[in-house]
Every structure is written in structure tokens, then in C-alpha cells.
Structure 1
């Protein structure tokens, strides 16, 4: 990781000395090589949703995975798990999806036996999907929404972690796996779910593609003009708008061939079982929202009770 000093919260998750943060930058080959010293397996989780500063898609998602795989191969490490993304496509108009595909190609070239996992939108307590829309619904008078008809298959972070663990243990064969949850929903349906869960009635305003591109361009300009101090929750890029033009679901081929969570023996967790446990904080009265409390007991007249 680039900032091991920020990883203190990870230390209690293992035994004493079991977790040792090491500085590494996937844009720097020498730094990656040092980080892999003594390793028997490698898991690459590095990726970005938006470019900023020197963190560019081609450097982080295309060049980075390749040098990680090459460094692992040079040390005789053949167990590599690479986290890509559903929708990775060498012909995509989106730089995010394009560089994800290029990263996969670099990994396979160096370590043909690598396990490549392509999750759909990942959800969990600190996700940048359900939490983001809940925050937007809390602070905005209306909720502009582009790509409302785009289909998605949200997958629980715990299920993705379980898949990674199985791959590290050697229980997952080499190949490309597509990880999706049990439900396929449109983006509009998922945002409606967020509003229902947070007990908010923020109006949703569908954005046609040209307006969505304009909105994205304006937020990109605002981010640049404020030296990246523009609130993260309000940022959307033109590249993300391009991504929203393509469904983000597990393919029929992956399902037939068993290259899914179910195919490797993991039962996907539905978002409805997890998301309410962390979105309650966006309700106006938090976890004590009266609509969640049981009906108050009937009050009886004292004389009637005595009789």
C-alpha cells in the first residue's frame, strides 16, 4: 500500500505479527518487487474509479497488474488472485473498463494460472454505491440519475472475500470468474430501494445522456478548479457515464461454465439482508426511527383493569 501508516485499523484483524503493512506503489516496479519478498501468494486489489493526479487508469489498472504478475513470476509465485471488474472489455469506450481488460491480459501473460475475479458493484458497510446514493438523497433537494435502466447485480463484499480466500487456498481453478449477487436490478430500482430503506422521499430526476455528460463535465471542471477539494460524493466523470451505458451483470457463458460464485461453492448474499444494517444512519432519526418500532401497547383505564 502507498500509505502503510494509515493501515493501523487492520492490525487487530490478525494475530500479533500476522499483518505487516508494507509500502508499495504499483506504478513503481522496484517497490512492488520489495513488497513481494517472502510471499507465497499474491492478491491484487488495487484499482481506481476516477483519475486524479498521478493516479491514472493506464498506470494503476493496466501497467500495475502486469508488473505485479511479472514480479511474482520472477520469484516463482504461481498463486496470484487479481481483482478486476465485471464489464472489463478491450473494446470498451470507457477507460476504466478498457484498462481493466488490459490489466487482465498482462496478468495472464505473466502467470497463466492466475485466478481473475470480476465482481459487479460491491456492497458492504463502507461501500461507495449504496452509501453514496443515501448521502446524495440526504443533502440534495432532488436526485439527478443517469443510466437508470442499466442493470446491475450487486455482490456482497464478504462473498468476494470468500472467493479470494478460496483462490489463495488453491480451491479455484485458473480462469476468469464473474461474481454477482442473487438479484439483478436496474440502477433506478436500486436507488428507489435506498430511498425506501432510509425513509426519504427525495425526488429522482432522470437525466438524458447529453445532460448526464454535461453534468459530468461540469463536476470535472469543479474538481479541477477547487484543486480536488470538490466533495467526493458529488463527483461523477464522463467515463462513469460511459460505463452506465452497459449492463453490469454476470454473463450467460460464465453461468453455464460455472465461473460464478455458485460455481465455486459460494451462495451469494442478497443486498436486502445486509444494506439496511448500515444505511439506517441516513434516516432522519437514525436507528431510532419510529417507523421501525413495534406498536405501542394499548393503554387501559385503571378502573377497568381493577374490575
Structure 2
């Protein structure tokens, strides 16, 4: 096995990376648009280009890592681009497999590390009342699922939604984190309108800490559809956020 790097916007570098490959996993993602990279260029055109070049190279196994809640009519430009990207991949390679994980977590991740940063504040602001439901999934469990899908005989299922064993509200996740860190902090509800205003102001900052798309995503539950393929179909038992916290975060005193 060799590490190959490529620019998903450049066909020649993609072809070089694909040389000798038997399967392809597209886990490229862009959360904040820049002058050099747009959602359309990465999630739609780039994803379709990679699938097309993989097919031209004779590769018949491609897994696209997308996300739960992807739909064409979303208010989020990011989500709409991901949805069009799924279509572009399937148009280029109809037998491609789409994997939609819920919120990913793991050691040194952006999700738990960000929440740990919030836990240092004297009070913690909630998105709305913190009732949005999430199904956090360990990144290693998603990696195991992808390895299974690229290594086993072709599966009849082409769409998988992967969530951990716990469905938790945003408030419950914060409370669990605070308990693990041995901290007590008040959780303060903040209306989504206020968050949208904060995100609008943050767009002028380099590497904004909050975007309009993130606020939109936090207004909708992020839970796997039980009628779509999941870990059970791959015979994988995912680990819970609760049992994984000790290996992802080190407890601190308040």
C-alpha cells in the first residue's frame, strides 16, 4: 500500500494517483469556501471528475463519503452541493457506494475538541435550546465500514447511513462532556436568529469559527435512517460516544 496525493480539481494528478488502484475512497470535503475553492468545484465537479477518471481507469469500486441530511432543497449551500455531488458521482459511476456518516468524533477531532474549548467558558451557549438530535459516530468505525465496502465482494446496497449506538441531543452531549471533564457550567439557550447574525459577522474573518451552513445544519436532527443500509449490514458494532470519551479526551479539573 502506498500513499498517493492528488488535487481533485486536476485531472492529471488524479490519473497519477489512481494508477494501480483497485478501489477509490473520496473523503475530500470543504466546509468553508475560499477564493481558490468553492463547494461546487470540490463537492460537485471534483467528485464527478474523480468518479469519471476512476471508471476510465477500470476501477469498479468507489466509495463517496457524504453526510446524513443531504438533500437538494436544503437552505445550506454546502448541503445542496453535497447532494449534487452524489448525483455527479452516480452519473459517472452508477455502481458507486455512498456512505453518509453522522457527526464524526475521535482523538484530536474538531467536534470534541471544539466542545472542550466551549467547556472552558464560564457559561456555554446552546444552539436554540440544545434539542437537536445527533448520532455521533467514531471515525474508526466509519473507516472499518469503508474498508469492508472496498474489500468485500460487491454489496447489493449502494447507500449507507452510519451513526453510533446513541442518539443524543446537543445538550446531552455537552452535559456528558462536562461530566467527563469534571466541570460545572450553565448551559444558556441562544436563539438561532442570533447564531445566524454571529455567523454573518464571522464570514469576514480568516478561517471563520462559525458559518451560516453550520448554523443551518444545527437546526436539523442528524440521525441515520433505519431503512437505509447501516453498520448492521456490515456486521460492525460501533462504539458509543460515552465509552469513547476517555480515549478521546483527558479529564481536567474545573
Cα gap change, 1:56 to 1:202, in 2 (>3 Å): farther
Partner residue of 2:127?
Answer: 146
Q: Encode CA deviations 1:2-54: one digit per residue, 9 max, x unaligned.
A: xxxxxxxxxxxxxxxx333x331112222212221221111111012222342
Q: Stretches of 4+ moved more than 6 A in 1?
A: none
Cα gap change, 1:51 to 1:275, in 2 (>3 Å): farther
Residues 112 and 174 of structure 1 are in contact (CA less than 8 Å); yes or no, is this contact kept in structure 2?
no
Does residue 136 of the first structure (1) align with residue 113 of the second (2)? no
TM-score normalised to the size of structure 1?
0.78
SS at match of 1:274: helix
**Residue of structure 1 aligned with 2:145, choices 163, 172, 176:** 163
Distance 1:193 1:55 in 2: 36
RMSD: 1.7
Unaligned runs of 5+ in 2: none
Residues 29 and 67 of structure 1 are in contact (CA less than 8 Å); yes or no, is this contact kept in structure 2?
yes
Max Rg structure? 1
SS at match of 1:118: strand
TM-score normalised to the size of structure 2?
0.93
**Residue of structure 2 aligned with 1:244, choices 201, 218, 221:** 218
Distance 1:141 1:107 in 2: 46
Number of residue pairs the alignment of both structures matches: 252
Q: Which has the higher contact order (CA 8 A, sep 6+)?
A: 2
Does residue 208 of the first structure (1) align with residue 191 of the second (2)? yes
Does residue 271 of the first structure (1) align with residue 245 of the second (2)? no
Distance 2:248 2:239 in 1: 15
